[in-house]
Amino acid sequence: MRSGAQQQQGLLVIYVLLGAMMLASTMALSLIGTVARRSHIALTSALFLPPCSSSIFYHPTRHGHQPSQGIRTRSTSSSGSSSSRSGSSRRHACEKDGSDENKKRPATNQPKQKVEMFRLDRLLANRGVGSRTEVTVLVRRGKVALQNGEVIKDPKFHLPSTALLFVNQEPIRPLPLLVAYNKPLGVHSTMGDPMGRPNLEDTLHPRLAKLFHPVGRLDADTTGLLLFSIDGQLTQRLLHPSGNVQREYLATVELGDEGEGGKDKFDEAKLRETLKQGVETADGTYPAELLGVSEAIKKEIVEKEEEDGEEGGEKTKGLLVLRVGVSEGKHRMVRRLLANAGYPVVGLHRVRYGRVELGDLAEGEIVEIDDASDVGQWARRMMEGKH
């Protein structure tokens, strides 16, 4: 029994030694192969590549990696040292000669602009054609076509957000961020009115009315530029004082009786400074900017009521048009500021909101602001908070 146990122990020792020898031989062969491959690459590069050509092989040190500590380069002999120096000088010369070429080479790590893709049914719904269910029915019935005339019947078909589509042969273009409207006198800035007064309900095309909302309000007795927005975040940034978006108005103000001084009574410098410092109102003190003054004085005939049985007479008042800018749109703000500064407003017309100008837009007309225009790009920067 003892001799059998000794034999088993001897066999176990032999197996362990054989395993260790096989592992050692495998590691040695792997190391020899690595050294041989690197030597072959170096030799091939030295023999066949031009001195200043770009190597097509991966080099650890050029890619930010250090060679293994177990692999060392020998430079004990004088020939090896000179060879190393000559190789180093060739390498530096090549790097110097190729520096200009590398500078001209375009960067390959530039971020590519991503094209936003949408499902066809979502794209149509976003453009106000109808609900997702309604547009799905239109698509499956073959009522939707691309610009090249191809009919698409798959609601899940993906298209870029800028694609031009046709529904029942009617072009459905991408919707803008903003729409400008020249509001007439007497129109209320609501999308409906229970009292039946003129409002914005029928102003926009039905496709736009589903998605757009007014940016703030204009009083019924104020005319001019009113914006509609498709994005709530954009609307918030246009309205909030932190956005510092200036609104420009033409305010027609009274100067008093002509016999009391008329235009000569108006002190432009004083009013400019008063508005700059801020005018106190019931809601607090708010500043404004006097952007300009009209030179033309309009005349208004005012009938004087009879007093103490005497016959009534007539007196003439001067009217002056002021260009005023404010960055906060509280209720009747411009009217209150000018009235408290001593210049009652008898007419108010908004001509600019930020970068959007009324221009020659006729009363009661609307215009879509092209997203590719300077104003459209400004609106997009506002929406993204990059203003």
Structure tokens at 18: 């054989």
Burial class (CB in 10 A: 0-12, 13-18, 19+), 175: middle
Nearest to 300 by CA among 344, 257, 349, 251: 257
Residue for token pair 């400074």: 273
Read off the amino acid at residue 48: F
Verify whether residue 264 is a known catalytic residue: no
Q: Which stretches does DSSP call E strand in the chain?
A: 117-119, 144-146, 158-160, 165-167, 170-172, 178-183, 213-214, 222-229, 247-257, 279-281, 284-286, 289-293, 298-303, 314-326, 345-353, 356-357, 366-368
264 within 8 A of 320, measured Cβ to Cβ: no
Catalytic option among 121, 193, 202, 219: 219
Q: Residue 179: CB partners within 8 Å, gap ≥ 6?
A: 204, 208, 212, 227, 228, 366, 367, 368, 369
State whether the Cα torsion 179-184-185-191 is positive or negative: negative
Number of Cβ within 10 Å of residue 80's Cβ equals 12
* Cα separation, 273 vs 358, whole angstroms: 27
- What's the token pair of residue 188? 């209320």
Q: What is the DSSP secondary-structure string of 83-106?
A: HHHHHHHHHHHHHHHTHHHHHHSP
| Dihedral over Cα of 4, 5, 10, 11: its sign | positive
Q: Give the integer Cα–Cα distance in Å for 64 and 62.
A: 6
Residue type, 365: E
Q: Give the Cα separation of 356 and 370 in Å (integer).
A: 11
Name the one residue in this structure whose structure tokens are 């408290």.
Answer: 340
Residues identified as active-site: 219
